[in-house]
Amino acid sequence: MVALWQLVVGTGNFGKALPSPAAVARQFWLMLFEPIGRTSLYGHIWASLVRVLSAFGVAIITGIPLGLLMGWNKKFEAIVRPIFEMFRPIPPIAWIPLAILWFGIDETPKIFICFIGAFVPVVMNAYTGVRFTDPMLLDAARMLGGNPRQLFLEVAVPSALPAIFAGLQNGLSLGWMCVLAAEMVGAQEGIGYLILLGMDMSNPAMIITGMLLIGAIGAAIAVLLRYAEKRICPWKREISM
Amino acid sequence: MTTQPQSSPVSGAGENSPGEQPQAKASAGGAGQGKRAMAGRPQASGSLWWLSLLSVTGFLVFWYAIVRFEIISQALLASPEQVLATFISKLTNRAPDGATLGANFRTSLKLCLTGYISAVCVGVPLGLVMGWFRKVDEIVKPLFEMIRPIPPIAWIPLAILWLGIGLPAKAFIIWLSAFVPSVINSYAGIKLTEPVLISVSRTFGATNWETFLKVGAPSALPMVFTGLRLSLSSAWMTLVAAELLAGSEGLGYMIQMGRTLARPDVIIVGMLTIGATGAAMGFVLEKFERRLTPWRRS
Protein backbone atom coordinates (compact mmCIF):
# COMPACT_ATOMS: atom_id res chain seq x y z
CA MET A 1 0.00 0.00 0.00
CA VAL A 2 2.76 2.43 1.00
CA ALA A 3 4.76 1.27 -2.00
CA LEU A 4 1.79 1.92 -4.24
CA TRP A 5 1.42 5.38 -2.78
CA GLN A 6 5.09 6.13 -3.40
CA LEU A 7 4.77 4.79 -6.93
CA VAL A 8 1.74 6.94 -7.70
CA VAL A 9 3.54 10.03 -6.47
CA GLY A 10 6.74 9.05 -8.31
CA THR A 11 5.15 8.47 -11.69
CA GLY A 12 2.10 10.73 -11.69
CA ASN A 13 2.18 14.46 -12.14
CA PHE A 14 0.30 15.48 -9.03
CA GLY A 15 2.84 18.20 -8.37
CA LYS A 16 2.44 19.45 -4.84
CA ALA A 17 -1.04 18.08 -4.28
CA LEU A 18 -0.09 14.61 -3.09
CA PRO A 19 3.09 14.31 -1.06
CA SER A 20 5.08 11.11 -0.98
CA PRO A 21 5.11 8.95 2.16
CA ALA A 22 8.66 10.06 2.75
CA ALA A 23 7.56 13.69 2.74
CA VAL A 24 4.80 12.90 5.22
CA ALA A 25 7.27 11.12 7.48
CA ARG A 26 9.63 14.09 7.27
CA GLN A 27 6.79 16.45 8.09
CA PHE A 28 5.80 14.33 11.06
CA TRP A 29 9.38 14.33 12.33
CA LEU A 30 9.54 18.09 11.93
CA MET A 31 6.25 18.59 13.75
CA LEU A 32 7.46 16.58 16.71
CA PHE A 33 9.91 19.33 17.54
CA GLU A 34 8.71 22.51 15.87
CA PRO A 35 5.79 24.37 17.37
CA ILE A 36 2.86 24.90 15.01
CA GLY A 37 0.80 28.00 15.56
CA ARG A 38 0.57 28.67 19.26
CA THR A 39 1.64 25.34 20.61
CA SER A 40 3.50 22.12 19.87
CA LEU A 41 2.02 19.02 18.30
CA TYR A 42 1.47 17.55 21.76
CA GLY A 43 -0.31 20.72 22.78
CA HIS A 44 -2.70 20.37 19.85
CA ILE A 45 -3.42 16.74 20.60
CA TRP A 46 -3.84 17.48 24.28
CA ALA A 47 -6.26 20.34 23.57
CA SER A 48 -8.47 18.10 21.44
CA LEU A 49 -8.35 15.22 23.91
CA VAL A 50 -9.29 17.43 26.85
CA ARG A 51 -12.30 18.72 24.95
CA VAL A 52 -13.52 15.30 23.90
CA LEU A 53 -12.96 13.63 27.24
CA SER A 54 -14.56 16.33 29.34
CA ALA A 55 -17.59 16.34 27.04
CA PHE A 56 -17.66 12.56 27.15
CA GLY A 57 -17.54 12.61 30.93
CA VAL A 58 -20.52 14.94 31.13
CA ALA A 59 -22.39 12.82 28.57
CA ILE A 60 -21.79 9.69 30.65
CA ILE A 61 -22.89 11.30 33.90
CA THR A 62 -26.09 12.74 32.45
CA GLY A 63 -26.83 10.38 29.57
CA ILE A 64 -26.66 6.96 31.20
CA PRO A 65 -29.03 7.76 34.09
CA LEU A 66 -31.41 9.50 31.69
CA GLY A 67 -31.44 6.55 29.30
CA LEU A 68 -31.84 4.02 32.10
CA LEU A 69 -34.73 5.89 33.68
CA MET A 70 -36.36 6.39 30.30
CA GLY A 71 -36.13 2.68 29.63
CA TRP A 72 -37.45 1.68 33.03
CA ASN A 73 -40.15 4.13 33.98
CA LYS A 74 -43.02 4.51 31.56
CA LYS A 75 -44.18 7.86 32.88
CA PHE A 76 -40.70 9.30 32.72
CA GLU A 77 -40.39 7.93 29.21
CA ALA A 78 -43.67 9.53 28.15
CA ILE A 79 -42.43 12.89 29.42
CA VAL A 80 -38.84 12.91 28.21
CA ARG A 81 -38.90 10.81 25.06
CA PRO A 82 -40.84 13.24 22.81
CA ILE A 83 -38.51 16.11 23.66
CA PHE A 84 -35.50 13.89 23.16
CA GLU A 85 -36.87 12.69 19.82
CA MET A 86 -37.28 16.29 18.72
CA PHE A 87 -33.57 16.93 19.16
CA ARG A 88 -32.24 13.54 18.16
CA PRO A 89 -32.39 13.85 14.36
CA ILE A 90 -30.44 17.12 14.36
CA PRO A 91 -26.81 16.22 13.66
CA PRO A 92 -24.46 17.53 16.37
CA ILE A 93 -22.55 19.47 13.76
CA ALA A 94 -25.63 21.51 12.94
CA TRP A 95 -25.40 22.86 16.49
CA ILE A 96 -22.07 24.53 15.78
CA PRO A 97 -23.41 27.93 14.65
CA LEU A 98 -25.83 28.16 17.55
CA ALA A 99 -23.15 27.06 20.01
CA ILE A 100 -20.77 29.71 18.77
CA LEU A 101 -23.50 32.33 18.96
CA TRP A 102 -24.26 31.31 22.54
CA PHE A 103 -20.85 30.65 23.99
CA GLY A 104 -18.42 32.62 21.85
CA ILE A 105 -15.42 30.84 20.40
CA ASP A 106 -13.58 29.65 23.48
CA GLU A 107 -13.67 26.14 24.94
CA THR A 108 -17.35 25.94 25.88
CA PRO A 109 -18.92 25.64 22.40
CA LYS A 110 -16.50 22.88 21.39
CA ILE A 111 -17.22 20.90 24.53
CA PHE A 112 -20.92 21.54 24.00
CA ILE A 113 -20.81 20.14 20.45
CA CYS A 114 -18.89 17.05 21.53
CA PHE A 115 -21.31 16.62 24.39
CA ILE A 116 -24.29 16.58 22.04
CA GLY A 117 -22.50 14.18 19.74
CA ALA A 118 -21.74 11.75 22.56
CA PHE A 119 -24.99 12.26 24.47
CA VAL A 120 -27.43 10.90 21.88
CA PRO A 121 -25.92 7.43 21.38
CA VAL A 122 -25.22 7.08 25.11
CA VAL A 123 -28.86 7.78 25.99
CA MET A 124 -30.29 5.68 23.16
CA ASN A 125 -28.23 2.64 24.07
CA ALA A 126 -28.85 2.83 27.80
CA TYR A 127 -32.55 3.12 26.93
CA THR A 128 -32.70 0.17 24.54
CA GLY A 129 -30.45 -1.83 26.85
CA VAL A 130 -32.95 -1.60 29.69
CA ARG A 131 -35.91 -2.10 27.37
CA PHE A 132 -34.45 -5.35 26.06
CA THR A 133 -33.88 -6.83 29.49
CA ASP A 134 -34.96 -10.44 29.32
CA PRO A 135 -38.45 -10.50 30.90
CA MET A 136 -37.72 -13.99 32.17
CA LEU A 137 -34.92 -12.64 34.32
CA LEU A 138 -37.21 -9.95 35.68
CA ASP A 139 -39.92 -12.48 36.46
CA ALA A 140 -37.40 -14.75 38.14
CA ALA A 141 -36.09 -11.91 40.28
CA ARG A 142 -39.63 -10.89 41.18
CA MET A 143 -40.51 -14.42 42.13
CA LEU A 144 -37.51 -14.48 44.44
CA GLY A 145 -38.96 -11.47 46.19
CA GLY A 146 -37.01 -8.63 44.65
CA ASN A 147 -38.55 -5.21 45.05
CA PRO A 148 -38.70 -2.81 42.04
CA ARG A 149 -35.54 -1.08 43.20
CA GLN A 150 -33.63 -4.34 43.28
CA LEU A 151 -35.09 -5.39 39.94
CA PHE A 152 -33.80 -2.20 38.42
CA LEU A 153 -30.36 -2.08 40.02
CA GLU A 154 -29.54 -5.77 40.10
CA VAL A 155 -31.21 -7.12 37.00
CA ALA A 156 -32.01 -4.44 34.46
CA VAL A 157 -28.89 -2.31 34.79
CA PRO A 158 -26.35 -5.15 34.57
CA SER A 159 -28.19 -6.68 31.65
CA ALA A 160 -28.08 -3.32 29.89
CA LEU A 161 -24.35 -2.91 30.39
CA PRO A 162 -23.19 -4.39 27.07
CA ALA A 163 -25.56 -2.09 25.19
CA ILE A 164 -24.39 0.84 27.30
CA PHE A 165 -20.80 0.10 26.42
CA ALA A 166 -21.62 -0.10 22.75
CA GLY A 167 -23.23 3.30 23.18
CA LEU A 168 -20.11 4.64 24.83
CA GLN A 169 -18.03 3.40 21.89
CA ASN A 170 -20.30 5.10 19.40
CA GLY A 171 -20.55 8.21 21.53
CA LEU A 172 -16.82 8.53 21.86
CA SER A 173 -16.13 8.10 18.17
CA LEU A 174 -18.87 10.59 17.34
CA GLY A 175 -17.44 12.98 19.90
CA TRP A 176 -14.02 12.60 18.36
CA MET A 177 -15.48 13.47 14.99
CA CYS A 178 -17.38 16.46 16.37
CA VAL A 179 -14.30 17.96 17.99
CA LEU A 180 -12.66 18.03 14.59
CA ALA A 181 -15.58 19.81 13.03
CA ALA A 182 -15.81 22.28 15.91
CA GLU A 183 -12.10 23.01 15.75
CA MET A 184 -12.22 23.54 12.02
CA VAL A 185 -14.95 26.14 12.32
CA GLY A 186 -13.14 28.26 14.87
CA ALA A 187 -10.16 27.45 17.07
CA GLN A 188 -6.60 28.41 17.77
CA GLU A 189 -5.37 25.01 18.78
CA GLY A 190 -6.40 21.38 18.52
CA ILE A 191 -5.86 18.76 15.91
CA GLY A 192 -8.76 19.88 13.74
CA TYR A 193 -7.21 23.33 13.62
CA LEU A 194 -3.93 21.68 12.66
CA ILE A 195 -5.25 20.13 9.47
CA LEU A 196 -7.14 23.28 8.58
CA LEU A 197 -3.90 25.20 8.98
CA GLY A 198 -2.29 22.69 6.64
CA MET A 199 -4.97 23.55 4.11
CA ASP A 200 -4.44 27.29 4.49
CA MET A 201 -0.72 26.84 4.05
CA SER A 202 -1.26 24.49 1.08
CA ASN A 203 0.79 21.90 2.88
CA PRO A 204 -0.77 18.50 2.12
CA ALA A 205 1.95 16.65 4.02
CA MET A 206 0.81 18.42 7.16
CA ILE A 207 -2.84 17.55 6.50
CA ILE A 208 -2.07 13.90 5.91
CA THR A 209 0.08 13.72 9.03
CA GLY A 210 -2.81 15.20 10.98
CA MET A 211 -5.31 12.80 9.44
CA LEU A 212 -3.18 9.79 10.27
CA LEU A 213 -2.80 11.02 13.83
CA ILE A 214 -6.54 11.54 14.11
CA GLY A 215 -7.19 8.02 12.89
CA ALA A 216 -4.57 6.54 15.22
CA ILE A 217 -5.84 8.39 18.28
CA GLY A 218 -9.45 7.48 17.51
CA ALA A 219 -8.49 3.83 17.17
CA ALA A 220 -6.41 3.94 20.37
CA ILE A 221 -9.29 5.42 22.36
CA ALA A 222 -11.60 2.71 21.08
CA VAL A 223 -9.15 -0.02 22.09
CA LEU A 224 -8.82 1.44 25.58
CA LEU A 225 -12.57 1.58 25.96
CA ARG A 226 -12.96 -2.00 24.85
CA TYR A 227 -10.36 -3.03 27.40
CA ALA A 228 -12.28 -1.20 30.11
CA GLU A 229 -15.44 -2.96 28.97
CA LYS A 230 -13.84 -6.39 29.30
CA ARG A 231 -12.80 -5.51 32.83
CA ILE A 232 -16.16 -4.15 33.89
CA CYS A 233 -18.49 -6.67 32.30
CA PRO A 234 -16.68 -9.91 31.53
CA TRP A 235 -19.96 -11.70 30.77
CA LYS A 236 -20.51 -9.67 27.64
CA ARG A 237 -18.63 -12.03 25.39
CA GLU A 238 -21.10 -14.78 26.07
CA ILE A 239 -24.04 -12.52 25.32
CA SER A 240 -22.76 -11.27 22.03
CA MET A 241 -22.13 -14.73 20.64
CA MET B 1 -40.70 4.70 16.79
CA THR B 2 -37.20 3.47 16.43
CA THR B 3 -36.23 0.78 18.82
CA GLN B 4 -33.23 -0.11 16.70
CA PRO B 5 -30.32 0.01 19.11
CA GLN B 6 -27.31 1.89 17.89
CA SER B 7 -25.39 -0.75 19.61
CA SER B 8 -24.04 -2.83 16.78
CA PRO B 9 -20.31 -2.91 17.16
CA VAL B 10 -20.01 -2.64 13.41
CA SER B 11 -22.00 0.54 13.28
CA GLY B 12 -20.93 4.02 12.46
CA ALA B 13 -17.35 5.03 12.83
CA GLY B 14 -16.89 2.27 15.39
CA GLU B 15 -13.41 0.94 15.57
CA ASN B 16 -14.29 -2.70 15.88
CA SER B 17 -12.98 -5.12 13.37
CA PRO B 18 -15.75 -6.31 11.12
CA GLY B 19 -14.93 -9.91 11.86
CA GLU B 20 -16.56 -9.62 15.25
CA GLN B 21 -20.03 -10.85 15.94
CA PRO B 22 -22.32 -7.94 15.28
CA GLN B 23 -24.82 -7.38 17.99
CA ALA B 24 -27.25 -5.77 15.60
CA LYS B 25 -28.57 -9.25 14.99
CA ALA B 26 -30.18 -9.06 18.38
CA SER B 27 -32.24 -6.14 17.19
CA ALA B 28 -33.71 -8.17 14.37
CA GLY B 29 -35.99 -9.97 16.75
CA GLY B 30 -35.84 -7.02 19.06
CA ALA B 31 -39.17 -5.37 18.44
CA GLY B 32 -41.25 -8.22 19.77
CA GLN B 33 -38.90 -8.84 22.61
CA GLY B 34 -39.04 -5.19 23.54
CA LYS B 35 -42.80 -5.35 23.91
CA ARG B 36 -42.55 -8.24 26.30
CA ALA B 37 -39.83 -6.53 28.26
CA MET B 38 -42.03 -3.51 28.54
CA ALA B 39 -44.87 -5.56 29.93
CA GLY B 40 -42.39 -6.99 32.39
CA ARG B 41 -41.68 -3.61 33.82
CA PRO B 42 -43.23 -2.92 37.16
CA GLN B 43 -45.26 0.14 36.17
CA ALA B 44 -48.88 -0.26 35.30
CA SER B 45 -49.25 0.12 31.55
CA GLY B 46 -51.87 2.24 29.89
CA SER B 47 -52.08 5.07 27.48
CA LEU B 48 -49.71 7.83 28.47
CA TRP B 49 -49.99 9.97 25.35
CA TRP B 50 -51.44 12.83 27.39
CA LEU B 51 -48.21 12.98 29.38
CA SER B 52 -46.21 13.27 26.18
CA LEU B 53 -48.51 15.97 24.89
CA LEU B 54 -48.18 17.80 28.18
CA SER B 55 -44.41 17.63 28.12
CA VAL B 56 -44.13 18.91 24.55
CA THR B 57 -46.52 21.74 25.32
CA GLY B 58 -44.59 22.47 28.48
CA PHE B 59 -41.37 22.55 26.52
CA LEU B 60 -42.77 25.01 23.98
CA VAL B 61 -44.22 27.24 26.71
CA PHE B 62 -40.89 27.17 28.53
CA TRP B 63 -39.05 28.06 25.33
CA TYR B 64 -41.49 30.88 24.63
CA ALA B 65 -41.27 32.19 28.19
CA ILE B 66 -37.49 32.34 28.46
CA VAL B 67 -37.33 34.39 25.30
CA ARG B 68 -40.42 36.48 25.97
CA PHE B 69 -39.26 37.55 29.43
CA GLU B 70 -35.69 37.96 28.21
CA ILE B 71 -34.20 35.41 30.56
CA ILE B 72 -32.14 34.61 27.50
CA SER B 73 -31.47 37.57 25.25
CA GLN B 74 -33.33 37.73 21.93
CA ALA B 75 -29.97 38.02 20.22
CA LEU B 76 -29.16 34.50 21.35
CA LEU B 77 -32.41 32.62 21.03
CA ALA B 78 -35.52 33.15 18.98
CA SER B 79 -38.92 32.26 20.36
CA PRO B 80 -41.02 29.52 18.75
CA GLU B 81 -43.37 31.95 17.01
CA GLN B 82 -40.43 33.92 15.60
CA VAL B 83 -38.99 30.68 14.28
CA LEU B 84 -42.31 29.85 12.66
CA ALA B 85 -42.53 33.32 11.12
CA THR B 86 -39.00 33.06 9.78
CA PHE B 87 -39.75 29.63 8.39
CA ILE B 88 -42.74 30.94 6.46
CA SER B 89 -40.97 34.03 5.17
CA LYS B 90 -37.87 32.02 4.30
CA LEU B 91 -39.96 29.96 1.88
CA THR B 92 -40.09 32.94 -0.46
CA ASN B 93 -37.48 35.34 0.91
CA ARG B 94 -33.87 35.12 -0.25
CA ALA B 95 -32.41 37.17 2.60
CA PRO B 96 -30.10 36.82 4.43
CA ASP B 97 -28.08 34.13 2.71
CA GLY B 98 -29.05 34.54 -0.92
CA ALA B 99 -31.40 31.62 -1.45
CA THR B 100 -34.84 30.56 -0.33
CA LEU B 101 -35.26 27.70 2.08
CA GLY B 102 -36.52 25.51 -0.73
CA ALA B 103 -33.50 26.25 -2.91
CA ASN B 104 -31.09 25.53 -0.05
CA PHE B 105 -32.97 22.37 0.73
CA ARG B 106 -32.79 21.13 -2.86
CA THR B 107 -29.07 21.92 -3.09
CA SER B 108 -28.28 19.99 0.07
CA LEU B 109 -30.54 17.07 -0.73
CA LYS B 110 -29.16 16.68 -4.23
CA LEU B 111 -25.59 16.76 -2.98
CA CYS B 112 -26.28 14.31 -0.19
CA LEU B 113 -28.12 11.84 -2.38
CA THR B 114 -25.50 12.03 -5.13
CA GLY B 115 -22.73 11.14 -2.71
CA TYR B 116 -24.83 8.61 -0.86
CA ILE B 117 -26.14 6.68 -3.83
CA SER B 118 -22.79 6.48 -5.55
CA ALA B 119 -21.17 5.35 -2.28
CA VAL B 120 -23.77 2.65 -1.75
CA CYS B 121 -23.46 1.40 -5.32
CA VAL B 122 -19.75 0.84 -4.78
CA GLY B 123 -19.69 0.05 -1.06
CA VAL B 124 -22.33 -2.66 -0.77
CA PRO B 125 -20.99 -4.86 -3.60
CA LEU B 126 -17.45 -4.34 -2.35
CA GLY B 127 -18.39 -5.34 1.18
CA LEU B 128 -20.26 -8.42 -0.04
CA VAL B 129 -17.44 -9.53 -2.30
CA MET B 130 -14.89 -8.88 0.43
CA GLY B 131 -16.88 -10.96 2.87
CA TRP B 132 -17.30 -13.87 0.48
CA PHE B 133 -14.08 -14.19 -1.52
CA ARG B 134 -11.03 -14.56 0.66
CA LYS B 135 -8.58 -13.26 -1.95
CA VAL B 136 -10.41 -9.98 -2.41
CA ASP B 137 -10.59 -9.66 1.34
CA GLU B 138 -6.86 -10.07 1.72
CA ILE B 139 -6.11 -7.48 -0.94
CA VAL B 140 -8.66 -4.82 -0.02
CA LYS B 141 -8.91 -5.14 3.74
CA PRO B 142 -5.52 -3.66 4.74
CA LEU B 143 -6.17 -0.67 2.51
CA PHE B 144 -9.66 -0.23 3.86
CA GLU B 145 -8.55 -0.63 7.47
CA MET B 146 -6.13 2.24 7.02
CA ILE B 147 -8.78 4.63 5.78
CA ARG B 148 -11.54 3.52 8.11
CA PRO B 149 -10.52 5.09 11.45
CA ILE B 150 -10.14 8.54 9.88
CA PRO B 151 -13.44 10.40 10.31
CA PRO B 152 -14.80 11.73 7.00
CA ILE B 153 -14.67 15.25 8.37
CA ALA B 154 -10.89 15.01 8.62
CA TRP B 155 -10.83 14.66 4.83
CA ILE B 156 -12.35 18.08 4.32
CA PRO B 157 -9.08 20.09 4.19
CA LEU B 158 -7.45 17.64 1.83
CA ALA B 159 -10.53 17.49 -0.38
CA ILE B 160 -10.66 21.27 -0.58
CA LEU B 161 -6.96 21.43 -1.39
CA TRP B 162 -7.39 18.84 -4.14
CA LEU B 163 -10.73 19.73 -5.61
CA GLY B 164 -11.40 23.31 -4.60
CA ILE B 165 -14.50 24.36 -2.69
CA GLY B 166 -17.01 23.39 -5.33
CA LEU B 167 -19.35 20.46 -5.64
CA PRO B 168 -16.71 17.76 -6.32
CA ALA B 169 -14.97 18.27 -2.97
CA LYS B 170 -18.21 18.03 -1.03
CA ALA B 171 -19.44 15.07 -3.05
CA PHE B 172 -16.15 13.30 -2.39
CA ILE B 173 -16.39 13.78 1.38
CA ILE B 174 -20.00 12.65 1.48
CA TRP B 175 -19.13 9.69 -0.67
CA LEU B 176 -16.43 8.67 1.80
CA SER B 177 -18.66 9.10 4.81
CA ALA B 178 -21.35 6.86 3.33
CA PHE B 179 -18.91 4.39 1.83
CA VAL B 180 -17.31 3.16 5.07
CA PRO B 181 -20.43 2.01 6.96
CA SER B 182 -21.99 0.43 3.88
CA VAL B 183 -18.86 -1.66 3.31
CA ILE B 184 -18.47 -2.70 6.94
CA ASN B 185 -22.06 -3.81 7.39
CA SER B 186 -22.31 -5.68 4.11
CA TYR B 187 -19.07 -7.41 4.99
CA ALA B 188 -20.25 -8.42 8.44
CA GLY B 189 -23.66 -9.41 7.09
CA ILE B 190 -22.36 -11.88 4.54
CA LYS B 191 -19.82 -13.27 6.99
CA LEU B 192 -22.75 -14.22 9.21
CA THR B 193 -24.45 -16.34 6.58
CA GLU B 194 -25.71 -19.53 8.15
CA PRO B 195 -23.08 -22.18 7.29
CA VAL B 196 -25.81 -24.81 7.02
CA LEU B 197 -27.47 -22.86 4.20
CA ILE B 198 -24.18 -22.67 2.34
CA SER B 199 -23.64 -26.40 2.76
CA VAL B 200 -27.15 -27.16 1.53
CA SER B 201 -26.60 -25.02 -1.53
CA ARG B 202 -23.31 -26.78 -2.25
CA THR B 203 -24.90 -30.18 -1.78
CA PHE B 204 -27.44 -29.33 -4.44
CA GLY B 205 -24.60 -28.58 -6.79
CA ALA B 206 -24.53 -24.80 -6.86
CA THR B 207 -21.30 -23.16 -7.87
CA ASN B 208 -19.56 -20.81 -5.49
CA TRP B 209 -20.80 -17.82 -7.50
CA GLU B 210 -24.41 -19.06 -7.44
CA THR B 211 -24.21 -19.65 -3.71
CA PHE B 212 -22.89 -16.14 -3.26
CA LEU B 213 -25.72 -14.59 -5.27
CA LYS B 214 -28.63 -16.75 -4.07
CA VAL B 215 -27.67 -17.55 -0.47
CA GLY B 216 -24.99 -15.22 0.78
CA ALA B 217 -26.23 -11.92 -0.56
CA PRO B 218 -29.91 -12.29 0.43
CA SER B 219 -29.02 -13.48 3.91
CA ALA B 220 -26.83 -10.39 4.35
CA LEU B 221 -29.70 -8.05 3.44
CA PRO B 222 -30.77 -7.07 6.98
CA MET B 223 -27.23 -6.07 7.86
CA VAL B 224 -26.86 -4.33 4.53
CA PHE B 225 -29.86 -2.22 5.40
CA THR B 226 -28.40 -1.39 8.80
CA GLY B 227 -25.39 -0.18 6.85
CA LEU B 228 -27.55 1.86 4.51
CA ARG B 229 -29.23 3.57 7.43
CA LEU B 230 -25.94 4.37 9.13
CA SER B 231 -24.48 5.57 5.84
CA LEU B 232 -27.40 7.87 5.28
CA SER B 233 -27.18 9.55 8.65
CA SER B 234 -23.41 9.78 8.33
CA ALA B 235 -23.74 11.32 4.86
CA TRP B 236 -26.31 13.84 6.03
CA MET B 237 -24.17 14.88 8.99
CA THR B 238 -21.05 15.20 6.86
CA LEU B 239 -22.96 17.27 4.36
CA VAL B 240 -23.76 19.79 7.06
CA ALA B 241 -20.09 19.93 8.08
CA ALA B 242 -18.94 20.33 4.50
CA GLU B 243 -21.39 23.14 3.86
CA LEU B 244 -20.47 24.87 7.09
CA LEU B 245 -16.82 24.90 6.14
CA ALA B 246 -16.91 25.40 2.44
CA GLY B 247 -20.24 26.30 0.98
CA SER B 248 -21.91 29.10 -0.82
CA GLU B 249 -25.37 27.58 -0.72
CA GLY B 250 -27.24 24.82 1.05
CA LEU B 251 -28.67 24.35 4.53
CA GLY B 252 -25.27 24.19 6.24
CA TYR B 253 -24.29 27.46 4.62
CA MET B 254 -27.60 28.99 5.66
CA ILE B 255 -27.06 28.28 9.35
CA GLN B 256 -23.49 29.47 9.11
CA MET B 257 -24.74 32.78 7.66
CA GLY B 258 -27.32 32.91 10.41
CA ARG B 259 -24.46 32.83 12.89
CA THR B 260 -22.40 35.46 11.11
CA LEU B 261 -25.40 37.79 11.06
CA ALA B 262 -26.47 36.88 14.59
CA ARG B 263 -29.88 35.64 13.46
CA PRO B 264 -30.80 32.80 15.83
CA ASP B 265 -34.17 32.41 14.12
CA VAL B 266 -32.49 31.54 10.82
CA ILE B 267 -30.16 29.09 12.55
CA ILE B 268 -33.00 27.33 14.30
CA VAL B 269 -35.12 27.13 11.14
CA GLY B 270 -32.10 25.60 9.43
CA MET B 271 -31.44 23.15 12.24
CA LEU B 272 -35.05 22.01 12.34
CA THR B 273 -35.12 21.58 8.56
CA ILE B 274 -31.92 19.55 8.71
CA GLY B 275 -33.29 17.39 11.50
CA ALA B 276 -36.65 16.86 9.83
CA THR B 277 -35.08 16.00 6.49
CA GLY B 278 -32.71 13.52 8.10
CA ALA B 279 -35.58 11.88 9.95
CA ALA B 280 -37.74 11.79 6.82
CA MET B 281 -35.02 10.14 4.76
CA GLY B 282 -34.50 7.56 7.50
CA PHE B 283 -38.23 6.88 7.50
CA VAL B 284 -38.36 6.37 3.73
CA LEU B 285 -35.42 3.99 3.92
CA GLU B 286 -37.14 2.00 6.63
CA LYS B 287 -40.30 1.66 4.53
CA PHE B 288 -38.16 0.52 1.65
CA GLU B 289 -36.43 -2.02 3.88
CA ARG B 290 -39.76 -3.49 5.01
CA ARG B 291 -40.70 -3.96 1.38
CA LEU B 292 -37.47 -5.70 0.45
CA THR B 293 -37.05 -7.92 3.48
CA PRO B 294 -40.56 -8.93 4.48
CA TRP B 295 -39.30 -11.99 6.36
CA ARG B 296 -37.78 -9.82 9.06
CA ARG B 297 -41.09 -8.91 10.57
CA SER B 298 -41.82 -12.40 11.81
DSSP for B256-285 reads: HHHHHTT-HHHHHHHHHHHHHHHHHHHHHH
Q: Is the ipTM of this complex over 0.85?
A: no
Does domain B82-297 fall under CATH 2.40.160.20? My reply is: no
Whole-angstrom distance, CA of residue A21 vs CA of residue B81: 56
Percent of chain B at pLDDT > 90 equals 16
Residue A12 resides in a domain: no
Q: Does A1 touch chain B (CB under 8 A)?
A: yes
Residue A204 resides in a domain: yes
What CATH number should be reported for the domain holding residue A233?
1.10.3720.10
Residue A90 resides in a domain: yes
Whole-angstrom distance, CA of residue A199 vs CA of residue A220: 26
Residue B200 or A19, more confident: B200
**B142-153 CB burial, b ≥16 within 10 A, e <16:** eebeeebbbbbb
Whole-angstrom distance, CA of residue A191 vs CA of residue A112: 17
Mean pLDDT of the B88-97 span: 79
Residue A157 resides in a domain: yes
Partners of B149 on chain A (C-beta within 8 Å) are 215-216, 218-219
Whole-angstrom distance, CA of residue A126 vs CA of residue A116: 16
216-235 in chain A: CB under 8 A from chain B = 216, 218-219, 221-223, 226
104-133 in chain A: CB under 8 A from chain B = 121, 124-125, 128-129, 131-133
Give residue-wise pLDDT tens across range B11-63: 333 333 333 333 333 333 333 344 444 444 444 445 778 888 888 888 888 88
Distance of CA A170 to the CA centre of its chain: 6
Residue A20 resides in a domain: no
Residue A228 resides in a domain: yes
DSSP-derived secondary structure letter, B73 = -
Q: Which of A108, A105, A157 has its CA nearest to residue A131?
A: A157
Q: Which of A73, A231, A71 has its CA nearest to residue A148?
A: A73
- Residue A60's pLDDT is 92
Give residue-wise pLDDT tens across range A121-164: 999 999 988 888 888 888 888 888 888 888 888 888 888 888 88
Nearest-by-Cβ selection for A17 from B38, B142, B161: B161
Per the omega criterion (within 30 degrees of 0), is the bond before B96 cis? yes
Minimum CA–CA partner of A196 in chain B:
B157
What is the domain range of residue A75? 41-239
Residue A198 resides in a domain: yes
Is the Cβ pair A166, B23 closer than 8 Å? yes
DSSP-based helix, strand, coil % in chain B, nearest 5: 75, 0, 25
Partners of A131 on chain B (C-beta within 8 Å) are 3, 34, 37-38
What residues does each domain of chain B span? 48-77, 82-297
Helix (H, G, I), strand (E, B) or coil at A240: coil
* Domain count for chain A: 1
